[in-house]
């Protein structure tokens, strides 16, 4: 849990001293618990002030330093993800998913479908500023098939951001989607895309809830049938991610991927204080084991100070302590 008291400059200096000792290799001057406590207990605003204080005292950009070494250092990766601005972090994730080698659809879906529409607007602006490029155009250029149309639709829908959910409108949209799926031999893709493009993620969740209330089953099951084809399969993935993000993340964590450690670190760090407890529950339901156990299996096998700190931070973020 984030510290609730107001921290003084002296307390930020103590954090900086601990981090400087660690990164300088002076491990005898600090304990693992001191390092873990910084990245578990400090919120994003506090960590931003730690970075500013570090620059003042040591003349070094701490965020840039951990960014430079994060590729092969799990602790540095965690530190970077905790300290960088969330919008900048997500813009970088999207850019790397599109241009970092092979296309990473799962990460694209993760960011586009689990972030609130208000955050997506900020992410798109950050992407434009950082890379001098339009996210929707880049996505259209790099992705083919139904996912291209569906994900561009989700990104465009954030323009309709509103903090209020209109349940009457959701009921009407649910009926429209039902007709698009059931009224003919083939589904009406254009109508489905039109509805989704005009509703932000919060409103889409309300539509999905209304659909189940009206017809007794989830929309994702309706698009699973053969007449929906590949478009239906791809739409199902996106819909499930919007409706049940905790299940999406739990599934990603269960998959055997070459970048499994990155997915574990990113999920725990980016979803802490949001829905990490729900992800942990969904993961345990399918595997009979907890995320804490997964962390220990991945990082706790070797007697390494760096790995001990990684385990401490990730387990602390999962527990919310």
SS3 54: helix
Residue closest to 159 by CA, chosen among 104, 215, 109, 198: 198
34 is in an annotated binding site: no
Residue 12 pLDDT grade (very low, low, confident, very high; cuts 50, 70, 90): confident
Q: Say whether 237 counts as a known binding-site residue.
A: no
pTM: 0.90
Q: Rounded mean pLDDT of 22-32?
A: 87
| 145 in a known ligand binding site | no
DSSP calls for 74-118: HHHHHHHHHHS-HHHHHHHHHHHHHHSSS--HHHHHHHHHHS-HH
Counting Cα atoms < 13 Å in the Cβ hemisphere of 134 gives 7
247 CB contacts (<8 Å, ≥6 apart)?
240, 282
In the chain, the domains with their CATH numbers are 10-69 (no CATH), 246-320 (1.10.220.10)
CA dihedral of residues 151, 238, 229, 171 (deg, nearest 10): -100
Q: Is residue 202 a known part of a binding site?
A: no
- Please state the three-class secondary structure of 172-227 as a single string: HHHHHHHHHHHCCCCCCHHHHHHHHHCCCHHHHHHHHHHHHHHHCCCHHHHCCCHH
Name the pLDDT band for 6 (thresholds 50, 70, 90).
very low
For 149-205, the pLDDT digits (tens) are 999 999 988 877 777 899 999 999 999 999 999 887 888 999 999 999 999 888 999
Q: Is 23 annotated as a binding residue?
A: yes
**Alpha carbon distance 177, 170 (integer Å):** 10
**pLDDT digit string (tens) for 190-237?**
999 999 999 988 899 999 999 999 999 999 888 887 678 889 999 999
User: pLDDT digit string (tens) for 238-275?
Assistant: 999 999 999 999 999 998 777 889 999 999 999 999 99
């Amino acid at each position: 849990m984030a510290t609730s008291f107001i921290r003084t400059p002296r307390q930020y200096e103590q954090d900086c001293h601990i981090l400087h000792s660690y990164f300088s290799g002076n491990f005898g001057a600090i304990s693992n618990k001191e390092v873990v406590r910084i990245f578990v207990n400090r919120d994003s605003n506090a960590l931003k002030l730690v970075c500013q204080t570090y620059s003042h005292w040591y003349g070094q950009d701490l965020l840039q330093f951990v960014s430079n070494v994060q590729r092969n250092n799990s602790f540095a990766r965690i530190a970077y993800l905790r300290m960088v601005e969330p919008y900048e972090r997500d813009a970088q994730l999207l850019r790397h998913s599109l241009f970092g080698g092979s296309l990473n659809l799962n990460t694209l879906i993760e960011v586009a479908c689990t972030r609130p529409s208000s955050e997506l607007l900020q992410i798109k602006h950050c992407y434009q500023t950082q890379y001098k490029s339009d996210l929707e155009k880049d996505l259209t250029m790099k992705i083919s098939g139904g996912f291209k149309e569906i994900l561009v639709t989700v990104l465009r829908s954030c323009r309709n951001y509103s903090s209020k959910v209109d349940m009457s409108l959701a009921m009407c949209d649910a009926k429209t989607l039902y007709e698009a799926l059931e009224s003919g031999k083939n589904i009406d893709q254009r109508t489905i895309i039109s509805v989704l493009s005009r509703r932000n993620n919060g409103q889409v969740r309300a539509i999905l809830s209304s659909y189940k209330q009206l017809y007794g089953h989830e929309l994702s099951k309706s698009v699973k049938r053969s007449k929906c084809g590949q478009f239906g399969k791809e739409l199902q993935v996106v819909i499930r991610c919007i409706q049940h993000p905790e299940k999406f993340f739990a599934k990603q964590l269960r998959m055997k991927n070459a970048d499994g450690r990155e997915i574990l670190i990113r999920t725990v760090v980016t979803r802490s204080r949001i829905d990490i407890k729900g992800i942990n529950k969904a993961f345990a339901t399918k595997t009979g084991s907890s995320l804490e156990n997964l962390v220990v299996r991945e990082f706790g096998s070797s007697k390494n100070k760096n790995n001990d700190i990684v385990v401490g931070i990730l387990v602390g973020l999962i527990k919310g302590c």
